[in-house]
Amino acid sequence: MRTSKRQIQKLNTRKKIIETAYKVFSEKGFSVPSSIIAKEAGVSHGAIFAHFPTMDDLLISLLSDFGDKIGASLHALAKKSDSAENLLKEHLKVLEEYEAFYSRLISEKTRLPDEAKNTFAIIQSTVAFHFASVIEREIEKGTVKKLPIHMLFNTWMGLVHYYLLNKDFFSDSGESVIKRYGSELLSAYLNLIKK
């Protein structure tokens, strides 16, 4: 079945709105009016609502898109029995790509609508699932200390979130915390959990 020119245009507009919303939400927070997203995207204000009936729908679509990207990259590694180190490197890589958005997400999580909070919880569960599958194999091989997996996961997330939420302590305003400290965070964490 061929895609019409109009369908392609609609898909491109939707993609442009989502890409712009990532940027605008990252910079200004999740309470930004839709008119600003429309202006930044170079589309009519009505185009936003033609694709996303509410701002919550747009936010949920963004979170789903973000979750799909994290899930896909971690799934491929976890499935092939890869190491915890490689899985965590991939996790940092995806977070670095969306660092401003993810930082905003974790700092404003409590103010999100319930459905967006649920979507965020699903993202975290997906990351935890892939983390657990790799860590369990490493524990069985004897390369990682036998500790409760939820504690290993929460320690990793706590470490990453601490640096992201306190970016102003660790880097200049425009510099990526993950780019600057990612390898150090990974190394320190692996030293804590490896036998």
pLDDT band at 1 (very low <50, low <70, confident <90, very high): low
For residue 67, give the amino acid letter: G
Judged against a pLDDT cut of 70, whether residue 87 lies above it is answered with yes
Same domain, 70 and 81: yes
pLDDT averaged over every residue in the chain? 91
pLDDT confidence of residue 10: 87
Do both 160 and 81 map to the same domain?
A: yes
Q: 35 near 90, Cβ under 8 Å?
A: no
Same domain, 172 and 183: yes
Residues 83 and 150 in one domain: yes
Q: What is the largest CA-CA distance in the chain?
A: 58
**How much is the pTM?**
0.88
Nearest to 17 by CA among 34, 41, 39: 41
The SS3 assignment for 195 reads: coil
Same domain, 77 and 34: no
Structure tokens at 186: 């990974």
Asked if residue 79 has pLDDT above 90, the reply is: no
Identify each DSSP E strand in the chain by its residue range. Answer: none
Two tokens at 86?
């490689």
85: burial class by Cβ within 10 Å (0-12, 13-18, 19+)?
A: middle
49 and 62 in a single domain? The answer is no
Average pLDDT over residues 110-124: 93
Q: What is the mean pLDDT of residues 42-66?
A: 93
For residues 108-134, give the mean pLDDT.
93
Domain that holds residue 7: 1-53
| 29 and 120 assigned to the same domain | no
Q: In terms of C-beta density within 10 A (0-12 exposed, 13-18 middle, 19 or more buried), how is residue 10 classed?
A: middle
